[in-house]
Amino acid sequence: MRKPLVAGNWKMNGSRDANRELLSALQSELDGLAGVELAVCPPAVYLPEVVEALADSPIEVGGQDCSDQASGAYTGEVAAAMLKDVGCRYVIVGHSERRDRQAEDSAWVAAKYQAALAAGVTPILCVGEQKEEREAGRTEAVVGEQLDAVLDAAGVESLDRAVIAYEPVWAIGTGLTATPEQAAEVHAFIRNRVAGRDPRVAADLRILYGGSMKADNAAGLLAHDDIDGGLVGGASLDAANFAGIARAA
């Protein structure tokens, strides 16, 4: 039985004041909610404060990225061990905004994924196709390549300590959400691909959906067996909206 996970990706949003307000609203909205795991991923500079603010809460904290290197002369980067050190349970790797803007390729993402595991932080591995790739019928080829890069580098058993997020790039922050059927089809593809290597790992693997998920479309997506939660961007900045998704999970 897979426990759903709803994780908020705050992206490059927030301030100390806004974060305090959001966390306090979230804690009241989510008080007593059982059966779902929750996490927030604030910008790196706010991580220690957010961990501290959530010390008495079941809400976990994650980073939005980590270096593929353990330590050293890598200006501006944050090591997975540092995320662990300040109390992070999760780290997002391979988000499409980084694959795109920072030109992170699948090999680099796989190295970040391995660095996270080595530090004892659970990677949330993002995969997903661009609009043109979907239109060209290449969704499975693209997602399969992104997935295989990680499985080849780290082994299928590594997924016992990881989470996958399917995020169709054309649905991110655009207001366009994949239909539950479109999402479920790719989630099933991912699970089958993993099952090809190890059916037990595939059965236990949590696969989240990400891409304009909101309280009012979450139930339809989460009704599918293969959709085990959400990686939520915009809607995670609004406590009531995020809580609505968490309740639907």
Binding status of residue 199 toward ligand G2H by CB under 6 A: no
Query: Among candidates 36, 155, 172, 23, which has minimal Cα distance to 98?
Result: 172
Binding range to ligand G2H, per CB under 6 A, among 14-22, 81-89, 182-190, 204-212: 204-212
Among 4, 5, 6, 9, the residue binding ligand G2H under the rule CB under 6 A is: 9
Query: Among candidates 186, 100, 207, 181, which has minimal Cα distance to 137?
Result: 186
Among 212, 229, 248, 249, the residue binding ligand G2H under the rule CB under 6 A is: 212
Binding status of residue 62 toward ligand G2H by CB under 6 A: no
Cβ contacts of residue 61 below 8 Å, gap of 6+?
A: 39, 40, 41, 42, 47, 50, 51, 54, 87, 88, 89, 90
Map tokens 């649905």 to a residue.
171
Catalytic residue among 60, 95, 129, 133: 95
Q: Is 224 in the active site?
A: no
Smallest gap from Cβ 195 to ligand G2H, in A, equals 25
Binding status of residue 94 toward ligand G2H by CB under 6 A: no
Query: Among candidates 129, 78, 74, which has minimal Cα distance to 100?
Result: 129
Among 54, 156, 213, 222, the residue binding ligand G2H under the rule CB under 6 A is: 213
Binding status of residue 241 toward ligand G2H by CB under 6 A: no
Q: What angle do CA 225, 230, 235 make, to 5 degrees?
A: 140
Query: What is the 8-class DSSP label of residue 31?
Result: T
Binding status of residue 147 toward ligand G2H by CB under 6 A: no
Binding status of residue 231 toward ligand G2H by CB under 6 A: yes
Quote the CA–CA distance of 182 and 177 in Å, as a whole number: 9
Binding status of residue 167 toward ligand G2H by CB under 6 A: yes
Binding site for ligand G2H (CB under 6 A): 9, 167, 172-173, 210-213, 231-235
Task: Catalogue the active-site residues.
Answer: 95, 167
